[in-house]
Amino acid sequence: MAPIRQSNRERRLAREQCREKLSRHIAQTLGITVEPAEVCLVPRTRDPYAWNILPEKNEVLAKIFAKNLSEHSISAYRMICEEVGNSFEAVGKTMSSSLTAIDIITMVSQHVSFGTIIGQLKEENVNLSTELSKWINKTEEESAQRQLTANEVDRLLRRQQEYEDEARRRTDVTTRLFQGSLMKSMAQLDQIIPTLIDLKRDISITSTEISSELNGHIIY
């Protein structure tokens, strides 16, 4: 009998911890104070809250929320404590005696629910994707513009190099022409100078002879 009593104590402790955690979650989410002993998985008509389960978790958790807390095992209590606020949450509800237990479990009210949050996240994701696409397009356009600018700069640099090469070529040609002309002039001078020297000497001799003749005539 001792093991059975120990098991009952553990189950009761787990249930109490589960109620306390659900009570705190309701207070934090909805600002509603519900005593742990009054927390229900299947809220009554007068209860100001309901439970909203994520669609992907509905198959697993719906079975748990179809029973009262007192009917579950320790493993179920642990799962509830782990999943509260993650896979399911408390939402406010409007009093209505026509609602069934399943309606109350899955009802979404004016309070923010998982479905609302998911919708908002999807909308934000779309907005972010659109914004990201704009930035990607802008980046691609700027990259293309930078590439065009780089190509233009390369073209101008090549053109400048061509001009410099042409200027050097023309300078070399002009220099060679000048050197050739200078050498030719010097060669011509080398030929003319001896002739001028001889001519100068002949003129000097002729002048001397003329002076002597003139002097002879004056004496006689």
Domain boundaries, the chain: 2-112
Amino acid present at 206: T
Q: What percent of the chain has pLDDT over 70?
A: 82
Mean pLDDT of the chain: 80
The token pair that represents 150 in the structure block: 């780089």
Cα separation, 89 vs 49, in Å, equals 10
> What pLDDT is attached to residue 35?
94
Q: With contact defined as beta carbons under 8 Å apart, do 34 and 27 qualify?
A: yes
Tell me which H or E stretch contains 49.
strand 49-53
End-to-end Cα distance, the chain: 187
CA distance 204 to 202: 5
Distance CA 47, CA 135 (A): 50
3-class secondary-structure state, position 112: coil
Phi/psi at 32 (5° precision): -110, 135
**Residue environment code for 191-212, b if the CB has 16+ CB neighbours within 10 A, otherwise e:** eeeeeeeeeeeeeeeeeeeeee
What one-character DSSP code corresponds to residue 37? G
Candidate from 91-95, 147-151, 159-163, 165-169 with smallest mean pLDDT: 91-95
Q: Which residues contact 27 (CB under 8 A, 6 or more apart)?
A: 33, 34
3-class DSSP state of 41 = coil
- The predicted model scores a pTM of 0.43
Place of tokens 């399943």: 102
Distance set, CA 133 to CA 39, 64, 125, 144, 166 (Å): 48, 44, 12, 16, 49
Q: 61-65, 123-127, 163-167: which has the minimum mean pLDDT?
A: 123-127
Is it the case that residue 200 has pLDDT exceeding 60? yes
Give the residue from 88, 101, 95, 69 showing the smallest Cα distance to 25. Answer: 88
Number of residues assigned to the chain = 220
- pLDDT of res. 112: 45
Segment 106-151, tens digit of pLDDT: 443 333 455 556 666 777 788 788 889 888 988 888 888 889 889 9
Token pair 């001009």 in the structure block, residue: 163
175-187 confidence digits (pLDDT tens):
787 787 778 878 8
CA angle 187, 192, 196 (to 5 degrees): 155
Is pLDDT above 90 for 77? yes
